[in-house]
Amino acid sequence: MKTKPLLLVITAILFARLGLAQAPQSSLPPKLTPEQAETVKTQNKKAAEMNELFEQVQDLMKYNSNGLTAEALLRELLALDPTQWQYYAALGDVQRRRKKFDDAVGSYEKGIHAAKANTAVDPRNPSTDPTNKRAGVAKMFFGQGRAYLSLQKNKEALTAFMKSAALDPNPAAAYFNLCAGQINSPLNSIFVRLDAEGSLVVCDKAIAADPRKADAYFIKGSLLIAGSQTDKDGKLQAPPGTVEALKKYLALAPEGAHVADVKQMLAEVGAKVAVRPKVIKDPAEYKDYITALNTTHPDERAASIEGFTRRYPQSVVLMDALEQTMEAYQQAGDGNKATETARRILAMDPNAIRALALVAAMDRVVATQGAVAPLKEGCADAETGLQQLPSWPKPEDKSDSEFGKLRDQMADIFDGMKGFCALQVKDYRAAREAYTRAFQIDPANLQDVYQLALADLEMTPVDLNGLWYCGKAMTLAQRQNNTKGLQVIGTYCRPKYRQYHGGDDGFDQMVDETAAENAPPPDFSSRIARDRTPPASEQRPSSAQQDPRSESTERTLAQSKPDAEKKGARYFVKIAANIASNVQPRDLNGFVAVYVDSQSWASGLKDGELAPFLKLKEEEAGRRCAVLFFAPAKDAAISVFFDGDSPFGVTAAKAGSSGQFEAGDISAAYKPVSKEMLKETGQEFQFNESQIVTDEGSPVVAFEVSTASKKPAKLK
């Protein structure tokens, strides 16, 4: 029976190879040189031999033959094609099972060399895929480690297991072997030569790779006990984490082989072993539960434990099993199944913290897409979670530091959801308070940081620290290679900065400076001001430090000084509006003014509506910007061009029958700006800043124009 898994491997290998081996001679090209014909003949002969071997493999599978025949078959395959690393891997497995450990080490070594030497990738042969090859090499190193252990070559075994763990996408077995070696090997073995810290590191890695492996906790606890010291009263003082590791073993294997040893160790360090009221009395139920818990792969373990909960709905460990199911689905990346399990838990215990956090997080994701019901439920779950969190009891298997990190994670989720809920109803002050708490726990949460910026910049009066959070969010998006997020954040934040600062200069520098900062500096508002130092009343501490009820130091973006605005978009739009009103008699009310500067000029040249006007002067040197006015129906447009701070040209055109502005009409209407055009009109303009996006998706500053007649001057 031991040969069956091996034969399945061999069959898979041969299927992969037969894709190349079964080329019928009738498919030969009609014109071949004698050398080419001889080569094809040789290849077909080789293919026929491999087909014959394949039939032998089928017989082995049918009659379940022994390992000797399998080894011979693999040697024949290697004689036909010695470049295939999988043959060596299978041969090593056979030899190790036959206790030919030296031969197995050699076969694995040849397989590792073959895998590294053959770098060609053939889509018809899965073994050449780099990912598959990496996993195969990891398994060969693991097999080597097992063979070396059998040969009592512990130093070589340690090296092999280390290499396996570094390559294997699922390194649990390799790390557990390393961990187990720390306690099972002779005192003079290489495993014990790992220092105490190194021994614990490999055990911690084994636990991280498979948190349900009870024996890993037993070994870790035993290693920690070995490092205990006796105090002046003769009492054994165990290192931190000892009790937690040993109790975790009892939680996972209440009837395991090491229970007596663990209880004795706990007694030696004066730790009380809690009486476990949840004891499964039915042997079949207990076996089913332990089997499910010890399943290695996360999605398989989740399905196995969930199956247990369905079969034993009245089990005394039902709640524990559901929590294990939820955790396993999370590890497997199945959010829907994890959430479904969390809701089952909440139906039994509405205050279950982890389930509340998971459901709140998933509801936030769905609510972001506009769903109303999940938003309402998620907000309620977040409030419940924040209320229950202070009284959440520490699990027995968690150390104080581990529990503190876990509690912070829960608080981060709940505060993030609370901030999101407040943002939806425009309670910006409450949103700022919640997001600030979340930021203090996890300053790398891009979503929370950006939404904290929104809360700051949308409240009245505006909190300028929002611009710092804008910069922080952009650096996080850059670090995470989140191009779309970076564009969305920049589209919102850059105009807000420009509105306060008066221009785009310094924006990128501000963004870069936030990367090394943990909170907005107290002088942030003065740091981003243009050529001025704000009075103390305008400077405010960071949101994380200030009293959220204090509003005396807040200022709105609209309170920016005129000299800061002078060189910004609004300054040029005002001048251009006056010129446009003098050039043509049509009222600008309802027009959209588009401000195109040097940074957005290239993008504007690729836009169907902006390009015909911008191309008129695109080769002029020293140009600062252009302002284009489009009628509500887009049937008429005016463009004013600037060199430096001064307007120098203007053109006006009407859309043709096709609805497009023709280059000839735009060019024919062009005029230099005269003194008459600069005279004040009888219109009073209002500009409400907004934004448009060019055809390629780049944001451009825009203003909605409204007009009113100026009041006549009073008689003196």
Distances (CA, A) of 465 to 512, 533, 536: 15, 16, 15
| 541 phi, psi to nearest 5 deg | -70, 175
Predicted local confidence at residue 533, as pLDDT: 39
Q: Are 599 and 507 in the same domain? A: no
DSSP state of 333: T
Q: Is residue 259 assigned to a domain?
A: yes
Strand order of the sheet with strand 699-709?
A: 671-672, 646-654, 636-643, 623-630, 592-597, 699-709, 683-693
* 60: CB partners within 8 A, 6+ apart: 3, 7, 10, 69, 70, 73
498 within 8 A of 566, measured Cβ to Cβ = no
Strands 636-643 and 623-630: antiparallel
Q: Is residue 414 assigned to a domain?
A: no
Nearest to 335 by CA among 368, 371, 300, 299: 299
610 within 8 A of 604, measured Cβ to Cβ = yes
Predicted local confidence at residue 558, as pLDDT: 36
Q: Are 512 and 594 in the same domain? A: no
Helix axes 318-332, 283-293, angle to 10 degrees: 20
Strands 236-237 and 229-230: antiparallel
Q: Give CA–CA dist 432/441, Å, rounded.
A: 14
Domain end call among 352, 374, 409: 409
223 within 8 A of 246, measured Cβ to Cβ = no
501 within 8 A of 528, measured Cβ to Cβ = yes
* 445: CB partners within 8 A, 6+ apart: 412, 416, 438, 439
Q: Give CA–CA dist 183/243, Å, rounded.
A: 18
CA dihedral 161, 165, 171, 174 (to 10 degrees): 10
Residue type, 289: Y
Q: Give CA–CA dist 144/133, Å, rounded.
A: 16
Cis peptide, bond prior to residue 461, ω within 30 of zero: yes
Q: Is residue 415 assigned to a domain?
A: no
Q: Give CA–CA dist 691/499, Å, rounded.
A: 12
Q: Give CA–CA dist 592/498, Å, rounded.
A: 19
Distances (CA, A) of 406 to 357, 394, 562, 658: 11, 10, 50, 63
Domain interval for residue 303: 284-409
Q: Is residue 156 assigned to a domain?
A: yes
Distance linking the first and last C-alpha atoms of the chain: 113
Nearest to 107 by CA among 72, 135, 143, 77: 143
Predicted local confidence at residue 640, as pLDDT: 94
Q: Are 499 and 615 in the same domain? A: no
Nearest to 360 by CA among 409, 319, 406: 409
73 within 8 A of 60, measured Cβ to Cβ = yes
Cα-to-chain-centroid distance, residue 278: 38
DSSP secondary structure letters along 211-250: TT-HHHHHHHHHHHHHT-EE-TTS-EEPPTTHHHHHHHHH
| 534 phi, psi to nearest 5 deg | -65, 150
Q: Are 121 and 42 in the same domain? A: yes
Strands 646-654 and 636-643: antiparallel
Q: Are 106 and 220 in the same domain? A: no
Q: Is residue 45 assigned to a domain?
A: yes
Helix axes 446-458, 465-479, angle to 10 degrees: 160
pLDDT averaged per 10 residues in sequence order, the chain, 716 residues: 35 35 40 69 66 53 51 79 83 83 92 86 77 87 87 82 82 76 46 52 82 83 77 73 83 76 78 56 83 78 88 86 85 84 87 87 79 78 86 73 85 92 90 92 91 90 89 91 87 88 86 89 79 39 37 35 56 91 84 88 85 78 78 88 87 85 87 87 81 75 80 40
Question: Residue 668 class from Cβ within 10 Å (0-12 exposed, 13-18 middle, 19+ buried)?
Answer: exposed
Domain end call among 111, 134, 169: 169
> Tokens 């165990």 — which residue?
238
Longest dimension (CA), the chain: 118
Q: Is residue 432 assigned to a domain?
A: yes
Residue type, 81: D
Quote the Cα angle for 365-369-374, to 5°.
60
Q: Give CA–CA dist 226/195, Å, rounded.
A: 12
Predicted local confidence at residue 474, as pLDDT: 93
Q: Is residue 421 assigned to a domain?
A: no
Question: Residue 244 class from Cβ within 10 Å (0-12 exposed, 13-18 middle, 19+ buried)?
Answer: buried
Q: Are 121 and 200 in the same domain? A: no
Q: Give CA–CA dist 573/588, Å, rounded.
A: 12
Supply the CATH number for residue 336's domain: 1.25.40.10
Q: Are 539 and 628 in the same domain? A: no
The encoded tokens of residue 677 equal 């055009």
Q: Is residue 6 assigned to a domain?
A: yes
Q: Are 21 and 153 in the same domain? A: yes
Q: Give CA–CA dist 540/11, Å, rounded.
A: 72
Predicted local confidence at residue 370, as pLDDT: 67
Domain end call among 169, 184, 207: 169
Strands 646-654 and 592-597: unpaired
Q: Are 40 and 145 in the same domain? A: yes
Nearest to 548 by CA among 452, 467, 476: 452
Q: Are 557 and 578 in the same domain? A: no
DSSP secondary structure letters along 635-682: SEEEEEEEETTEEEEEEEEE--TTSS--HHHHHHT-EE--TGGGS--S
Number of domains within the chain: 5
Q: Are 19 and 152 in the same domain? A: yes
- Residue 526: how many CB atoms within 10 A of its CB? 16
637 within 8 A of 628, measured Cβ to Cβ = yes
Q: Are 197 and 125 in the same domain? A: no
Which helix (H) or strand (E) element contains residue 707? strand 699-709
Distances (CA, A) of 589 to 35, 631, 685: 85, 9, 8
| 213 phi, psi to nearest 5 deg | -80, 100
> Tokens 């490092």 — which residue?
227
